[in-house]
Structure 1
């Protein structure tokens, strides 16, 4: 029996998997609001409180860098340690992975029906792959191809500098500097909170008039990004549509940056919670691919790289379970 976790700033998902001759079979799963708990150990203890079958290994994908078996969650005041979790779980084989490392392993297990290809000119090839996932924050990783197997490499690329590509984005950068000070990371835009920031900027400059219906919804909502996305896609709200279009273009531009830095001939894989919810915006007017390919002398190289969105939302959990199973070998 294996324990897998996907630990994020908004929610923590724990699941038990059984390793069988046919692969990994999920036995049970539970979602926990992360902010309601003081530590991951507290969450794990509650999840295992009625557990009778002993565990053999555990792995947790965590939203932050992992150093020497410990991690501080980027968007949560938790210190997570493998040493402490061995006591909580009662097993010696406990591993922490960066959440994008775990997600990368999970993405490798998906079937063809669990993907949407964004690049109509894609030419499949073997090689490194770039992985991006916008959600509560922006995660980035690289799947290094050694000629036989893929190896997930963690990064904190989501915290690198946002680079504007036209006058509108020049203004967006200046707007965000007023909000956050001198440094504006890609995550400030490519995240749930970032969608709301892009919308607020376009509203401020009068890019399109704000509809009274969306203004009312935003005034009372605890999730502005959800309201903006829904009004853009279901109600065809002009300002919301413009915000999602710009978000998609910037997302594509950052995906292109990572593809160049990792020389990702094997493709770009898009995970996370946001992309499956705004598929229309990613495809519409080719906004994502326009940003992706706008790389000057390397535009033609990028134009033929596969760019796929994962439709399965549980890839980080699946990847953590996959790594836990490897610990038994």
Structure 2
């Protein structure tokens, strides 16, 4: 593709504690139409997001607007990521990169906007339920951290409300989970759902069980070196009993918190599971106790059974959502 200085386009970024995805897309009738350039960067390998964007845009047309989705609460135009000492300064990026407009949003707000751009084939439906048109939706996902957002209908599209619900108190539901809570309290004091529903959290669940059951030195070493990926491989590929138990406990707690958010939002429009971990465990979700834990809400069990639950298979849904926000800023500046 040959760059053109006059080509109308927008820039999107999904900036996480582990990786950053950048995408430059041409506009057609005010909407992102085709990708001009895209790249994945190691977030830890760059001194600043500004330098990363400058490198990415070299030789390409200047975007009309940029939307940066960041893994942190967005309360100003300058912030630091929750799980990485990386500062994001929207005004600095505007000036250094020659961008007319830079918008900062939370990464799961971006995921929420991306939901509307998905095709049916981009979803794995875990529970069909009975979707109510224009009813609230909920989105959550475990990755480097635990992201959450709530979607409410705004007349012609869903407005996405940011949330830091991943940091609410972990509520164990059985004796095994009470033991896990005590184990994590000794480490952290306060134990949020993110301490469990994240890459580091899956490792912590494994370590809790490995203190109680025999684990080979080789697996302990692999987990110490590769983290959650080693736990998943040992469970899915090798059939290791403790890794399997860790994955099952992780998914039951995931289901419980998804049900909590569904009740909080009354998500009759659907619950969407995104984030880096869910697509890699897609088939395991359906076979685990995830849905049983999702529905286990006492008198509201039948209500939870009516809420659709979908797993988002596209790992780039956050970038897709950020492109939607950037395009809307160009076509309708007051609606962003």
TM-score, normalised on structure 2? Answer: 0.92
2:267 is aligned with 1:264: yes
Consecutive unaligned residues of structure 1, counting only runs of 5 or more, are none
Cα distance in 2 for partners of 1:30, 1:146 equals 32
Give the CA deviation at 1:71.
2.5
Name the structure 2 match of 1:36. 45
RMSD (Å) for aligned C-alpha atoms: 1.5
Matched, 1:310 2:303: no
Q: In the comparison of the two structures, how many residue pairs are matched?
A: 321
Q: Deviations over 1:274-310 (max 9, x none)?
A: 011112321114x110111111111111011101000
Q: Give TM-score scaled by structure 1 length.
A: 0.94
CA distance in 1, matches of 2:314, 2:96: 30
Alignment of 1:27 with 2:36, yes or no, is yes
Runs of 4+ in 1 over 4 A off after TM superposition: none
Q: Does 1:174 align with 2:172?
A: no
Note the C-alpha offset of 1:187.
0.5
Distance in 1 (CA, whole Å) between partners of 2:48 and 2:147 is: 22
Q: Is the 8 A contact 2:295 2:302 kept in 1?
A: yes
Q: What's the counterpart of residue 25 of structure 2?
A: 17
Aligned-pair CA distance for 1:41: 1.0
C-alpha displacement of 1:324: 0.6
Distance 2:220 2:127 in 1: 35
Aligned residue number for residue 326 of structure 1: 328
Unaligned runs of 5+ in 2: 1-8, 332-336
Q: Which among 110, 113, 137 is matched to residue 105 of structure 1?
A: 113
| Structure 1 residue 231 corresponds to structure 2 residue 234 | yes
The SS at the match of 1:184 is coil
Aligned-partner SS, 1:66:
coil
Alpha-carbon distance in 2 for matches of 1:23, 1:200:
44
Which secondary structure state, in structure 1, belongs to the residue aligned with residue 330 of structure 2? Answer: coil
* Matches of 2:199 and 2:218, distance apart in 1: 20
Match of 1:214 among 214, 219, 226: 219
What is the distance in 2 between the residues matched to 1:81 and 1:279? 35
Deviation at 1:216, TM superposition (A): 4.4
**Structure 2 CA distance for partners of 1:82 and 1:217, relative to 1, 3 Å:** closer
2:207 pairs, out of 191, 200, 221, with: 200
